[in-house]
Amino acid sequence: MTSPLPAAVLWDMDGTLVDTEPYWMAAETPLVERFGGAWTHEDALGMVGLGLDDAARILQGAGVRMEVDEIVAHLTDEVMRQLREEGVPFRPGARELLRELRDAGIRTALVTMSMSRMARSITELIDFEAFDVVIGGDDVTRPKPHPDPYLQACEALGVDPVDTVAFEDSITGARSAVAAGTVTVGIPHMVSLDEVGAHELWPTLEGRTVADVAAVLTRVRQGVGA
């Protein structure tokens, strides 16, 4: 028996759809150093998945003497510059699964804490219409790990969160998706997701299909483990 398809699939961007986390880290370090501070790899890992305003406040605490909105704009501009120069580094299997979902007629949303202008610039570089809805960090009042970003995406799509599957690579992102009521699949990248409450953890999206996505939704509904 074929599993029913989800009403929508909701994608985090940085670290899940595209491997931009190294770009963010490369933007943070010289900014802190410009103001005489030090920024370690562990510091950078602690920022993964945070809303940009929260990240900016942490950078202020590390000595960056700029306003929050100035830090956000600077980091966004730096990451977009790297994307233009280096290209968009899709995570393994992400583009292929996204295309298969679209070909199957499944609605999709991009739910990211990056600025919406950056998210839209990335979607414009995908050679098919990849998303019905794009929710950026500047589109929501409360960022991840609050459920608001995913709830807003579901409302815009006109779907019930329980009928959706969300892909996330960060602790804050997975907690946001779980809190919103989505069936949450963690795709660990920079950090472990063992304790965040995701319904399943997949080591990669490579080789995954629409049938796999439908199956995880069915397993969660039936209370059956992977």
Q: Specify the range with the lowest mean pLDDT, choosing from 25-29, 106-110, 196-200.
A: 25-29
CATH number at residue 175: 3.40.50.1000
Same domain, yes or no: 43 and 117: no
Q: Is the CB of residue 9 less than 8 Å from the CB of residue 164?
A: yes
Contact 154, 133 (CB under 8 A): no
Q: Which residues pair with 149 in a beta bridge?
A: none
In angstroms, the first-to-last Cα distance of the chain is 17
| C-beta separation of 21 from 15 below 8 A | yes
pLDDT at residue 30 tops 60: yes
Q: Are 174 and 193 within 8 A, CB to CB?
A: yes
The enclosing domain of 67 has a CATH number of 1.10.150.240
Same domain, 133 and 164: yes
- Residue 14 inside a domain? The answer is yes
Asked which of 49-53, 76-80, 82-86, 92-96 is least confident by mean pLDDT, the reply is 49-53
Q: Decide which of 29, 55, 86 is a domain's last residue.
A: 86
Residue 80's pLDDT band (cuts 50, 70, 90):
confident
1 assigned to some structural domain: no
Confidence of residue 225 (pLDDT cuts 50, 70, 90): low
Q: Which domain holds residue 56?
A: 21-86
- 105, 197: one domain: yes
Question: Which residue, 90, 82, 65, is CA-closest to 27?
Answer: 82
For the entire predicted model, the pTM comes to 0.85
pLDDT for the residue numbered 226: 57
Residues 52 and 100 occupy one common structural domain: no
**Domain-ending residue, one of 32, 51, 86:** 86
The answer to whether position 2 is within a domain reads no
Q: How many domains does the chain have?
A: 2
